[in-house]
Structure 1
């Protein structure tokens, strides 16, 4: 997003706005019913929810919160922002809060998968009813705190097409660079370093799995992570380009301006692509559920979620004797 002073309305920006509206409209049309169905399935069709399913439930809730704001964003980009500065700040907060919730939940899912494979007995503690709810509470608390950092800076900008809720106002370049770096480090680099490490360890074990449901849930969780990474990676690339432009403004003015123009143009499309991550997860669940045997089509989701269980109840170390430690680990692991 550009600063309020950068109000030039290039023809290419008009094309970008058209593409943005199309992406947002498609995300809304697919994501709202998809995430609503996931929430209905988990809350209405599952009597017992595993910790993993609890995380998936909150991931769908966070995605739905973003998607219900889409009509306002679409109207704004197609016409002008006419809802006031309070609504502008509030909707920006919802979007960024959801971003942090999603990445933190996906990080928690990756850590849970890693524990289930590498430390199955430690994963037993994860099954306690209070533990997942405490983790979810902490995730929402941190996400609200990080999402609130954008509120003081979010502003409306006056363009040739009217007011737009698409600008941030900072006191100086250092403050802007610090905020962008915080967003990228906390919202992408650090979580994905943890996620990549977890799945690198998990990948060593996947080839030895024989249970189809375990392999299916492994592929499902990995696809959720990959989809989120692909959707958010361009946004953070342009964030870093903006930071580079700010830091080189005094030393290399021409290079700084070139980077700034690239970041200004690319951020429109890249930011809209991030919303695809809010609608794609239900499609991944539906694709994974195709191979789940069920007499009714709508029950396949619940069957799929029932299979995503880090440590099965029947394989509890207190109930099943194991002849040796290797057999214990093999029997307990599930992804």
Structure 2
């Protein structure tokens, strides 16, 4: 009787599903990286929140009268229209000499493109100054603000738009012609035809008409018209009232204008007189002989000593001598005897 046999060839061994060490290491490293990333993110957010809370508490306890730091504006540079209004030109070493850009400190070369800041007459490389104007509104050298429209609204100087004499709107025509103060000066002005000035309210027309004005003799001014001197003195009187709180009436203003004009005229006459006294040196002929003589007189003996010396045209002496004369009655006679 035969026993049943078992076929062992068809039976496959079962493998253990156990992870290799490499897989374990990769999984652990990935978990560590993810854990660190989320920890860093949450810790950063938490610290930022704590910092904001701390700043709020500190600002709440700060006195209200402290000056807070100003935050610079986002657009701190100069506008493109203002930048383009500054002219460009090619640099020439021959015309302007050797110089360097104050921004990049590089020497200017021929044909370098320059931009001229017409407000202060400084010039720089166009690239350098355009880059500077992206964050500044001032000249790099002079530091003058170039944004004129915004600057005018921040001026701390008091602008006098009203006439200091009458309180009306101050203009050139009003200040020098129409104002009651100016009118009082022109009415007393020593002109033969003062109506040429008072007959108009326009300063330009009055200036053109002043060429026909004639100064009256009592002023003593005949080389120049009194018109510009009166205008200048009115301007000085206006400034003295504003800045020095000094007031002068119309007659005092006219007197000062006349005095200044007379002093100026006198100075010009002295200059012309000095010029007239200067004459060209006389050219001496080659045969000219220059003789220098001198005499001395002695009263006790009534004698005179006489000496002479001859020079040629070049100033070189070529003959000299001396002598004595008796019975000379006076020093004047001695001087007369020594002359040839």
TM-score after normalising by structure 2: 0.22
Greater Cα radius of gyration, structure 1 or 2: 2
Structure (1 or 2) with the greater strand fraction? 2
Higher relative contact order, chain-length normalized (CA < 8 Å, sep 6+): 1
TM-score after normalising by structure 1: 0.22
Structure (1 or 2) with the greater helix fraction? 1
